[in-house]
Amino acid sequence: MTSISHCDGGAVVFVDERYVLGALLGEGAVGCVYAAFDTVLGIEVAVKIMHEIHAKSRAMLDRFSQEASISARMLSPHIVKVLGLAVTRSGAPAIVYEQLEGETLASYIARNGALPLAETQEIIRQVARALGRVHALGFVHRDVKPDNIFITTQPDGHALVKLLDFGVAEAVKPDGTRRQVVGTPEYMAPEILFGSAPLDARVDIYALGVVAFECLTGGTPFKGDRMMDVFQALQHGQRASLSQLRSDISLEMDEWMDCALQPDPYWRFESVKEMSTSLATATTASEARAAISIRTAA
């Protein structure tokens, strides 16, 4: 059988022949995600199949199994639903997810540019609800970023936001230790990059703050010509001011962002619920400021 390391879906056959693969939806370091049809239930699904090369590693198999286990426990309308597990005839494990119609937040921002404040606030509110479930069960996601946030549309026309990919999630340990440094650097809290504090839910709060900044500006908050410059700016919280970048954003939003992106986790929001509630207040202040500016200009 042809290797599936390069996501050649046509070569993949499952042991029970239950799933028929369709289009490739995405590819990552661990595996590929396909649209598929469940011939038993008669529904469209999404199947994440581990690359065969990783299926020979006990550590990778354990991590993949943990991803499925953690995802299955996250019962929330804002988290992608796990429907089951499968195995290919070549021995590669697979996780079966609900199939989502829509696009990632990364794609949405790339297509639309900086988003309106109210829309950003709603996206962050829904992701915060997902993370609230994650944290309540004693886990941290560790890879919150626009690529792992999906926007779909409900039958009533309202947007439904879902958190994806629990591949590097892990349980919070009493001593704050972590398995290893993993994630996407632009969204990683300083304590992950520099080992400056124990790992807990505040790493996800930090990453969600970066996501909010990207929604509002189209880019991440810390920039530099070299990666070392970026790390130094991140470590010291040296970022551009939102209120200087956008005239419709108030100082309250800058204060909110300061709290979300505090280099020292002690000064960050204590929970995603507090973070979301505070954002709603800051959004209201910004909208009031924008309304006054419009009336003055008129």
Predicted confidence at residue 79, as pLDDT, reads 96
The pLDDT tens digits of the residues spanning 231-276 come to 776 666 677 888 888 888 888 999 999 999 999 999 999 999 999 9
Fold adopted by 102-297: Transferase(Phosphotransferase); domain 1 (1.10.510)
As given in the structure block, the two tokens for residue 155 are 């039958």
**pTM of the shown model:** 0.89
Which candidate in 8, 16, 38, 143 is catalytic? 143
- CATH 3.30.200.20 assigned to domain 9-98? The reply is yes
Where exactly are the structural domains of the chain? 9-98, 102-297
The pLDDT tens digits of the residues spanning 152-204 come to 998 888 899 999 999 889 898 876 555 566 667 889 898 888 776 788 999 99
Residue 143 is among the residues annotated as catalytic for this protein: yes
- Look at residue 296 and tell me whether its pLDDT is greater than 80: no
Q: Specify the amino acid at residue 76.
A: S
Report residue 28's pLDDT band, with 50, 70 and 90 as the boundaries.
Answer: confident
State the average pLDDT over residues 206-211: 97
Residues 6 or more apart whose CB falls under 8 angstroms from that of 66 comprise 169, 170
Q: How many CB atoms neighbour CB 128 within 10 A?
A: 25
Find the Cα–Cα–Cα–Cα dihedral 242, 243, 248, 249, rounded to 10°: 70
Are 9-98 and 102-297 in the same CATH fold? no
211 CB-side CA count, 13 A: 31
- Look at residue 5 and tell me whether its pLDDT is greater than 70: no
The pLDDT tens digits of the residues spanning 75-134 come to 899 999 999 999 998 889 999 999 999 999 999 999 999 999 999 999 999 999 999 999
Say if CB 151 and CB 47 are below 8 A apart. no
Between CA 260 and CA 278 the distance in angstroms is: 10
Closest CA to 187 of 151, 162, 213, 167: 213
Predicted confidence at residue 176, as pLDDT, reads 55
Please tell me the total number of residues recorded for the chain in this structure.
298
Q: What is the mean pLDDT of the chain?
A: 87
